[in-house]
Amino acid sequence: MVFDSIDILVWALVAFAAALVGVPAAARLAIRTGFVDAPGGRKDHAGLVPPVGGLVVFPVFVAVLFASGLIDSAFLYFIAGLAVIVFAGAMDDRFAISPRWKFVAQFIAAFLIVIGGGARVGSLGNLFGFGDVWLGWMDIPFSVVATVLLINAINLIDGLDGLAGGKSFVAFAWLLVACLLGGAHDAAVQVAVLMAALAGFLAYNMRHPLRARAAVFLGDSGSMALGLALAWFCITLAKPDTAVIQPISIAWILALPIIDTCAQFARRVAQGRHPFSADRNHFHHHFVNAGVSVGWTMAALCLIGIGMGAVGIGGMVLGVPEPVLSYAWIAMLLTHIYISLRPRRFRRLAAWALRCIRGEKAAD
């Protein structure tokens, strides 16, 4: 076990160092070639920011894993899917391609990991207390659709400095805990390497005392690839024959991006709009609109993600019945949708929370 832990740490440090060096080098090259994200429209950042995060994190991730020798034939399909997604995202970052072409790339990547890589959701577990929910012939279409939805869920929360990367880092951290608890050494190394490469990027993307704003962005290449990576690890780690985590625990780990995406879709449809139409009424926007700084908003949402993941993993470790976790998750989803149908409800809640933090009295 000690040797395994050292093995994980060594490869993670290699990935972190490579990303830490690679991000500024890629950013300089991007600026020289005009590959930058300019402010305007819904983009209110200052200056020209290179969206090179995904173009560094995932090549580093793949290169380090090839060096480690922890890549099998199934994993190669995942790498192929990443290549498709990163390429499509980079084209969108550079040329703003049509959304339909991004969807095509997302479905190609999903089919690669599901059919080629065998990342199929065979069972949802004992969600409702009547026995395991087996998908049967629906496992392939369900897995493909779930993958595409998760890709878009992570892409949609990429609206604040450090948010998509930070939230994904928290999710991967809980998956790493599950790997360590379940003795899945190879998967633990893979997840740790991706976390380390992502951490190297976040050093330049996340706001902190040494950085007032992001120097680089993930770009669509990075946010969509993070969604694909989460789908791959969540599905493969929960496969019935080799599971180290329950499906409902995964639902808790991914709760925030999933429930917020569902709520936004419900609100837009209720307003007679296309579910993928853009606006500024996501969960994180409510905090900013209430006066919370970007840095503290990102920190708060990551803490919420940590808490939700603790429910999922802690419930599994403590033997909490799956139906209890399931019904609690559904109640949280429905509550979130109800409040999101009127964005002002969330703004009032966020403003109230901010007043409490500042020690101010609520207005009469």
Specify the pLDDT at position 359.
59
C-alpha span between 21 and 63 (Å, rounded): 15
pLDDT in tens, 301-332: 889 999 999 999 999 999 999 999 999 999 99
Mean of all residue pLDDT scores within the chain: 88
pLDDT in tens, 185-194: 999 999 999 9
Which of helix, strand or coil describes residue 208? strand
Token pair recorded at residue 263: 């709520």
Specify the pLDDT at position 62.
97
Say which residues have a Cβ less than 8 Å from residue 335's Cβ, sequence separation at least 6.
none
pLDDT in tens, 167-204: 999 999 999 999 999 999 999 999 999 999 999 999 99
DSSP letters of 25-85? HHHHHHHHHT--B--BTTB---S-B---HHHHHHHHHHHHHHHHT---HHHHHHHHHHHHH
Q: How confident is the model at residue 207 (pLDDT cuts 50, 70, 90)?
A: confident
- 155 annotated ligand binder: yes
Please determine, for residue 40, whether its predicted confidence score (pLDDT) is greater than 70.
no
Which of helix, strand or coil describes residue 197? helix
Q: How confident is the model at residue 4 (pLDDT cuts 50, 70, 90)?
A: low
pLDDT in tens, 260-283: 888 888 888 888 887 777 666 677
Q: Of all residues in the chain, what percent carry a pLDDT higher than 70?
A: 90
| Choice among 59-68, 266-275, 342-351, 352-361 with the minimum mean pLDDT | 352-361
DSSP letters of 148-169? HHHHHHHHHTTTSTTHHHHHHH
Specify the pLDDT at position 2.
43
**Angle, alpha carbons 356-359-364 (nearest 5°):** 70
**What are the boundaries of each domain within the chain?**
5-37+45-358
Q: How confident is the model at residue 162 (pLDDT cuts 50, 70, 90)?
A: confident
Specify the pLDDT at position 45.
47
